[in-house]
Amino acid sequence: MGVPRPEYPRPTLVRDQWLNLNGPWLFEMDAEDQGLRSAWFSTGLPKPSPIVVPYPVESEASGIQQLVPADVVWYQRELEIPVDWQDRVVLRIGACDHWTRVFVNGQEVGQHRGGYAPIALDIAHALKPGVNRLVIRVQDSLSWTQPRGKQAGTTRWPIDYDSVTGIWQTVWVEPLPTVSIESTSFDYCCVSGELTYRVYFSGQIDGEQTLEISRNGVPVAKASVETGLRSEARFKVVIEDGELWSPAAPHLYDVSLKLVNHRTNEIDEVTSYLGLREVSVDNGELRLNGERLFLKGILDQGYFPGGWYTAMTDDDLRADVELTLAMGLNCARKHQKAEDPRYLYWADRLGLLVWAEMPSGKIFTTELIETLTGEWIELIKRDRAHPSVIAWVPFNESWGVWHQAERPEQRAFVEGVVGITKALDSSRPVVGNDGWEFSAGDLWTLHLYFENRDVATRLAELIEQPDSSVTDEYGGLKRVGALPGANIEGLPILLTECGGVGFGHYSEEDFSYGEIPQTEQAFETQIREIAAMIGAAPQLQGFVWTQLTDIQQEINGLLYFDRRPKLPLATLREIFDQLGHENAVFAKGG
């Protein structure tokens, strides 16, 4: 068997030299939390079992498949660095849930808190010639004071799933110069053809950064700037007659970056790509490249047979993108999970729009403020170079900020994170709190499931009275469309959760958002009825259907968990192709 997930894990920043550490590791659960006291990081794991990285402990593919693992788990493997790697060596972990501590040859080299953002640690100072021992301690909990997304915690809702523990994305090492290129971002103006491109470094540097952009091997732009003891560089170049990126034509340009350190003469070279596209909200319309955009989305939880949080292969990620497009949809709302960057790569390549969402906690505490904010910043930095990502969603349905209406500190948290998001990236809309209780952001997004009352009437009532109820009691409180004092005038309105029709049977815990149809024909009829209500609502600029696949007790997928369609893909495409409006009515004042 070859190395699992052998593809380069960070598609927007590729280097030639790297060493994939996926595959067999040693693993041990530490139910009594004695590993630190007994110095397992130095002596090694006493009674290990084999595990396959990068699949999480709960998954079948890991070889462990422990659905309720200990709060503390340990990983260990041997590591031999190529002899021609000099100076700085960085260990990278795509994602590891939740509190990660890393040891090399008994020496702690760093820590990281969070289950979704990437980890990068300098380890050269702890390495020795030949074979080295790499040990990773991971501590997780069932507490909702940490961002958990849809992972079941101390209480399990009907819409929560089994948890994810430990390493769940690729682990690798790479040699780097003293200061290296760490991420990029860009924004583009269709009218002027001006591209603003930014390169971010691992530290301040006195050097020269060079940018080269080409299309199909033909150079289209080249520029150099002095970094001037800054930790980032900015370019402004004009690309005339640029080929724009869109779902209909996902044109990409190749990018080459070269950083020269004037002090050490070291050079860092990486390759990347970009898509020339502009996302905007103008005159109450959501637009892509200046054209009105009607969003046809799917709620995608990002769970996979065999690997659970981790796709078994890169082809499985590509297949999910292709299935979404085959159903006539143009967007995936990645729900309560920061997805593997390889998924975003295929969305970039194949032309699927993506809403990037922060996994929520559910208990408002200082810990949640610190952890969610810090990890959200890391994820924005990781993903802002992907042209497919067109919106940021830091909060969902007031999870973790249940009392915004009565407690100003919770509302300040939401509005503060919206502000931080805009400071880090002004090129995309921000959805402050998706679903209801709007207070800040660029889109007014609502969650309405199947009811006898038609969607158009309910939306008209909310537009007339934004502080009226969106849903019956949720989390013990009435949830309104917008909080007092919030301004929704002129904002595009999107129905970002709807549908939720269940079909199929797994257990007595089967869950959907309405009565479960008993035949395929009845299932199709319900979908068509809801689609017709969406089509009859000219206020809408888009929808997100719940959901892509069944997952455990939730049977409201358009696909079964193994990705078999419940209805022919052509039928689903015919239904969704009919949706979209040339003329829209927007929020009051628009």
Mean pLDDT of 185-202: 97
Residues facing residue 447 across a β-bridge = 497
How far apart, in Å, are the Cα atoms of 301 and each of 75, 207, 528, 550? 27, 43, 23, 10
d(CA 215, CA 100): 41
- Residue 313 CA to residue 53 CA, distance in Å, equals 13
Closest CA to 30 of 71, 87, 2: 71
Domains by residue range for the chain, with CATH: 19-176 (2.60.120.260), 191-277 (2.60.40.10), 280-577 (3.20.20.80)
Look up residue 543 and give its two tokens: 């929808």
How far is 447 from 429, CA to CA, in rounded Å?
18
Q: 15 falls in which pLDDT band (50, 70, 90)?
A: very high
Token pair of 16 as six digits: 């030639």
- What's the confidence (pLDDT) of residue 585? 37
Measured at the alpha carbon of residue 144, what is the angle toward residues 143 and 146, in degrees to the nearest 5? Answer: 90
DSSP character for 515?
P
Q: Tens digits of per-residue pLDDT, 97-123? A: 999 999 999 999 999 999 999 999 999
3-class SS at 138? strand
- Kindly state the average pLDDT of the residues 248-270: 98
Question: Model confidence at 451, in pLDDT bands (50, 70, 90)?
Answer: low
DSSP-derived letter for residue 517 is P
* % of residues, the chain, pLDDT over 90: 89
In terms of residues, how long is the chain? 590
Unique residue bearing structure tokens 């309560």: 336
Backbone torsions φ then ψ of 408, nearest 5 degrees:
-60, -25
Q: Beta strand pairing status for 444-447 and 433-434?
A: unpaired
Q: What single-letter DSSP state applies at residue 34? A: -
Q: Which residues have a Cβ under 8 Å from the Cβ of 1 and sit 6 or more positions away?
A: none
User: What single string gives the DSSP state of each residue in 549-590?
Assistant: B-BTTB---SB-TTS-BSS-HHHHHHHHHT---SS---STT-
**Per-residue pLDDT, 457:** 86
Q: What is the pLDDT of residue 581?
A: 53
In one-letter notation, the amino acid at residue 512 is: S
Per-residue pLDDT tens digits for 17-56: 999 999 999 999 999 999 999 999 999 999 999 999 999 9
Confidence band of 257 (pLDDT split at 50, 70, 90)? very high
Nearest to 189 by CA among 474, 533, 426: 426
Considering the chain, what is the average pLDDT of its residues? 94
Cα–Cα distance for residue pair 4/312, rounded to 1 Å: 8
Q: What is the mean pLDDT of the segment spanning 548-558?
A: 96
Q: Count Cβ atoms below 10 Å from residue 253 Cβ, excluding itself.
A: 22
Contact 72, 138 (CB under 8 A): yes
Q: Are 136 and 79 in contact (CB under 8 A)?
A: no
pLDDT of residue 459: 87
DSSP string, 222-233: EEEEE-TTEEEE
Residue-wise pLDDT for 358-416, tens only, equals 999 999 999 999 999 999 999 999 999 999 999 999 999 999 999 999 999 999 999 99
Q: Which residues of 351-367 are buried (b: 16+ CB within 10 A; e: fewer)?
A: bbbbbbbbbbbbebeee
Determine contact, residues 21/172, Cβ cutoff 8 Å: yes
Could you give phi then psi for residue 581, rounded to 5 degrees? -130, 135
* Cα 379 from Cα 415, distance rounded (Å): 18
Cα gap 335→399, rounded to integer Å: 13
Residue 350: CB atoms within 10 A of its CB come to 15
* Residues facing residue 304 across a β-bridge: 308
CB neighbour class for 441 (10 Å; exposed up to 12, middle 13-18, buried from 19) = buried
Give 225-237 pLDDT, tens digit per residue: 999 999 999 999 9
Instruction: Say how far apart CA 556 and CA 335 lie, in whole Å.
Output: 15
- Distance in Å from the first CA to the final CA of the chain: 59
| Count of other CB atoms within 10 angstroms of residue 435 | 23
Q: pLDDT tier at 452 (50, 70, 90 boundaries)?
A: low
Alpha-carbon distance of 545 to 333, in angstroms, equals 9
Nearest CA-CA partner of 530 in 507, 512, 553, 506? 512
pLDDT band (50, 70, 90) for residue 491? very high
pLDDT of residue 278: 98
Count of Cβ atoms closer than 10 Å to residue 451 Cβ: 13
Q: pLDDT at position 156, please?
A: 74
